[in-house]
Amino acid sequence: MENKKADSLAVFLSGLSGGKESPLLKEASKFFYENGFSTLRLNFCNDNDDKKQLAQAIKPEEMKFSVYTGELKNILDTLGKKYSRLVLVGHSFGAVIFVSFLSKYKKYLKRAKLVLWEPSLLPWKRKWMEEDFNFDKSDNLYRAKRSGELINKTFYNELINAKNTAEIFRSLNKEAVIIATTKIGRRHARKYFSKIRDKKTLKLAFIAGAGHSFGKKKHQAELFNKTLRFLKKR
């Protein structure tokens, strides 16, 4: 949503199995628009909840890190150039993508603010991946046992062999806010926080009782307001 008075663009990126039509991202976009930001919600794969999804959208089984970061650069080069500040808000795996993006395209570091909501942390253990995915020889893809989600060999190996995301985050030396709630999310958030030498540049916050997707209105309100306070201080 374009706010004609805004000098900041808030970009919301969903998790690996989420989408831009998720309740969290839709409510976040509305909240930040009403607080003076232009907003943009993104997912790079087919989203079953998006009734306006283009038929030629990238399929989940075509995704890999170079596609994620390359497509993000194309979008920000085009839509973000008119804004003096970019606020990159990554939920779950979206946090990993934004950290990887800033590491690869450092020209964005100065004008970007980084927000991580319930961030994932790579690498994922091979044992976990083998428990969650089966390899389908018929189409040469890995298929999630519960959801049926498909990923290719390249992306599967990237998830297992990736450099530690918290280490990449540390190398950015970037101001950020990290907000988590679940047991796993708190553990990941603390690992990101532990990598920063100057803790004054980092805001770490927790929201009690919320789920991974901050599904309740009261938890969303707390999440959005904590994030906004961080952005207004800088």
pLDDT for the residue 45: 60
pLDDT for the residue 15: 85
In degrees and rounded to multiples of 5, residue 194 shows phi and psi of: -65, -20
Among the listed residues 93, 82, 52, 72, the one whose alpha carbon sits nearest the alpha carbon of residue 11: 72
Distances (CA, A) of 177 to 52, 68, 98, 208, 228: 32, 22, 13, 17, 10
In degrees and rounded to multiples of 5, residue 15 shows phi and psi of: -75, 180
- Distance between CA atoms of 39 and 85, rounded to whole angstroms? 12
pLDDT for the residue 199: 64
In degrees and rounded to multiples of 5, residue 130 shows phi and psi of: -70, -30
User: Are 144 and 118 in contact, with CB atoms under 8 Å apart?
Assistant: no
pLDDT for the residue 200: 67
- DSSP state at residue 119: -
- Using one digit for the tens of pLDDT, what is the confidence trace for 24-63? 999 999 999 999 999 999 876 655 554 555 555 567 677 8
CATH architecture, range 8-121+164-232: 3-Layer(aba) Sandwich (3.40)
Give the H/E segment covering residue 91.
Answer: strand 85-91
List where CATH 3.40.50.1820 sits in the chain.
8-121+164-232
Stretches in the chain below the pLDDT threshold 50? 50
